[in-house]
């Protein structure tokens, strides 16, 4: 399996283990397989048997083996089984699926150690990083940005691991108290929390700016865990397969997915699964008030917003106005035209965005690739949470409520069962849950005391040079095992 950049597929193809540690391609593009592996009816039937007889971890091994050919099979199997096990995940199914109402299901992705769907990829990434660094005798300094859940998932996956430090940027004051407590409460010597004076997109821009400094990146061994890292999307493909299996009985039966998303990573994995031949019908993009993605899929206009235009909402993990993973989809949408992709994302996005409204390829977004979209407001998600709680005794977090609201609004355009992918457990968003139901969400036993921990965080200005200086000083002052 060779990997190429969205901006220069003619460059020397890279191996999986190399892009695992590298993050962005040297030209600023994102890595994708040179060609997506294809699965047929026999593969799908075998995967159904594997999930039923051997469980999620063995299914993950089957799927990931299609993308990873430079790690010995038995090593990869052991890595995957360490990542997807109890008690790391609280449910033995790892990703159970429940029916919410007729034709609408929830794929429960929040069984991991930080109660967020990001754990599904991060737990695997932690195992892969430690394995590959040990194999090479190297260390890695991970730089990431989070609008809510990525940071805690990454830190819990990497804490205490040999050869790894984590530097995580957060938008100051833009996460919920629980999300902040999960991250800032960690007092591990290899974890560094940075509160940046800005919004998530500013944090993401700083990560890209630091990663684009090839000299600094090489000298300081900078790697990535944000969804620009291909391995995260690869891991997420697995739960699309498992959810499809759990909702269907026939290998030809198709399923649609409604995905709350701001950075396009979660639903990009669905696009990849569909491109491989998994029987996926529609991929429904659900945004909040920061609706740059919904606007694109409705109009063809990709109009990025400034920090001042990015609203702080009650589904804060989606308060994003420049979706990093969107480049991967547009690369496919444009027939893998790297020159156009580089022009759009290397220049036009920096100038405010671009439009494909008059491009013939835009019709493929809904037609060939199956995308639909919608947006949700604070009132919408509060109404969904209140309705499900009072009518069904089901409690969902605000992001999942966004997905359910949009899925319900598009039911007349979707002829297949819809699985709404859960984002996180309600405990992370107590204020909104209290507004919707009149009561605080239940705190799972494994999170008791989270709010009482100390705070370990450094405040920095929105400046890539200041972040680089902090990283360099911290590396020089600490040793990793």
Q: How far apart are CA 411 and CA 103, in angstroms?
A: 9
Q: Quote the mean pLDDT of the chain.
A: 93
**pLDDT (tens digit per residue) in 18-73:** 899 877 888 889 999 999 999 999 999 999 999 999 999 999 999 999 999 999 99
* Three-state SS at 133: helix
What are the φ/ψ torsions at residue 287 (nearest 5 degrees)?
Answer: -115, 170
Could you please report the per-residue DSSP string of 134-164?
Answer: HHHT--EEEEEE-SSSHHHHHHHHHTT-TTE
**pLDDT (tens digit per residue) in 217-269:** 889 999 877 778 899 999 999 999 999 999 999 999 999 999 999 999 999 99
At residue 210, does pLDDT exceed 70? yes
pLDDT at position 212, please?
A: 83
Which of 198, 327, 188, 223 is closest to 265 using CA atoms? Answer: 327
Strands 140-145 and 164-171: parallel
Residue 411 near residue 446 (C-beta atoms within 8 A): no
pLDDT tens-digit readout, 316-350: 889 888 898 999 999 999 999 999 999 999 999 99
pTM of this prediction? 0.91
| Mean pLDDT within 182-198 | 91
One DSSP character per residue, 57-88 reads HHHHHHHHTTT--SS-HHHHHHHHHHHS-TTT
Domains (ranges, CATH) in the chain? Answer: 97-114+230-437 (3.40.50.1100)
- 452 — pLDDT class (breaks 50, 70, 90): confident
Contact present, 323 and 262 (Cβ < 8 Å): yes
At residue 319, the pLDDT reads: 87
Residue 480 has a pLDDT of 59
Exposure string (b/e) for 253-290, b if CB count within 10 Å is 16 or more?
A: ebbbbbbbbbbbbbbbbbbbbbbbebbbbbbbbbbbbb
Instruction: Give the pLDDT confidence score for residue 368 in this predicted structure.
Output: 96
pLDDT at 479: 66
Handedness of CA 185, 187, 189, 194 (dihedral sign): positive
Residue by residue, what is the 3-state secondary structure of 199-248? CHHHHHHHHHHHHHCHHHHHHCCEEECCCCCHHHHHHHHHHHHHHHHHHC
Question: Which distant-in-sequence residues (6+ apart) come within 8 Å of 227 by Cβ?
Answer: 121, 150, 233, 263, 264, 265, 266, 268, 324, 325
pLDDT of the residue at 481: 52
Each residue's pLDDT tens digit, 382-437: 999 999 999 999 999 999 999 999 999 999 999 999 999 999 999 889 999 999 99
Supply the pLDDT for residue 240. Answer: 98
Choice between 8 and 385, residue whose per-residue pLDDT is larger: 385
Residues classed as catalytic = 118
């Amino acid at each position: 399996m060779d990997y190429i950049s969205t901006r220069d597929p003619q460059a020397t193809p890279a191996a999986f283990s190399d892009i695992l540690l590298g993050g962005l391609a040297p030209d600023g593009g994102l890595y994708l397989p040179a060609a997506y592996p294809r699965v047929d009816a026999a593969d799908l039937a075998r995967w159904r048997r594997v999930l039923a007889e051997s469980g999620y971890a063995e299914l993950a091994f089957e799927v990931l083996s299609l993308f990873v050919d430079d790690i010995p099979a038995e090593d990869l199997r052991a890595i995957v089984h360490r990542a997807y096990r109890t008690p790391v995940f609280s449910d033995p199914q790892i990703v159970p699926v429940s029916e919410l109402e007729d034709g609408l299901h929830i794929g429960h992705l929040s069984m991991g150690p930080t109660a967020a769907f990001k754990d599904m990829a991060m737990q695997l990434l932690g195992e892969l990083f430690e394995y590959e660094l040990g194999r090479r005798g190297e260390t890695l300094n991970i730089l990431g940005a989070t609008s809510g859940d990525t940071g805690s998932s990454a830190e819990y996956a990497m804490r205490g691991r040999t050869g790894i430090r984590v530097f995580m940027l957060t938008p100051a004051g833009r996460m919920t108290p629980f999300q902040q407590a999960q991250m800032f409460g960690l007092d591990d010597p290899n974890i560094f929390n940075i509160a940046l004076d800005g919004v998530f997109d500013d944090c993401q821009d700083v990560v890209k700016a630091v990663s684009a400094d090839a000299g600094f990146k090489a000298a300081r061994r900078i790697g990535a865990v944000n969804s620009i890292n291909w391995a995260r999307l690869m891991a997420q493909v697995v739960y699309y397969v498992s959810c499809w299996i759990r909702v269907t009985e026939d290998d030809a039966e198709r399923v649609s997915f409604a995905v709350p998303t701001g950075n396009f990573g979660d639903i990009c994995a669905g696009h990849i699964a569909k491109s491989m031949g998994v029987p996926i019908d529609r991929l429904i993009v659900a945004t909040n008030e920061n609706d740059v993605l919904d606007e694109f899929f409705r109009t063809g206009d990709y109009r990025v917003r400034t920090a001042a235009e990015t609203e702080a909402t009650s589904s804060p993990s989606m308060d994003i106005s420049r979706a990093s993973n969107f480049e991967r989809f547009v690369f496919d949408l444009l027939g893998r035209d790297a020159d156009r992709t580089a022009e759009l994302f290397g220049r036009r996005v920096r100038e405010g965005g671009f439009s494909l409204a008059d491009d013939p390829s835009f019709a493929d977004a809904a037609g060939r690739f199956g995308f639909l979209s919608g947006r949700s407001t604070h009132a919408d998600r509060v109404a969904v949470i209140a309705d499900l709680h009072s009518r069904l005794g089901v409690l969902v977090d605000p992001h999942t409520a966004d997905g359910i609201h949009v899925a319900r609004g598009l039911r007349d355009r979707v002829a297949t069962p819809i699985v709404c992918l859960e984002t996180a457990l309600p405990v992370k968003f107590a204020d909104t849950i209290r507004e919707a139901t009149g009561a605080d969400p239940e705190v799972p036993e494994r999170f008791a005391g989270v709010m009482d921990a100390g705070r370990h965080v450094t405040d920095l200005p929105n400046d890539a040079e200041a972040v680089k200086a902090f990283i360099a000083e911290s590396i020089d002052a600490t040793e990793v095992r």
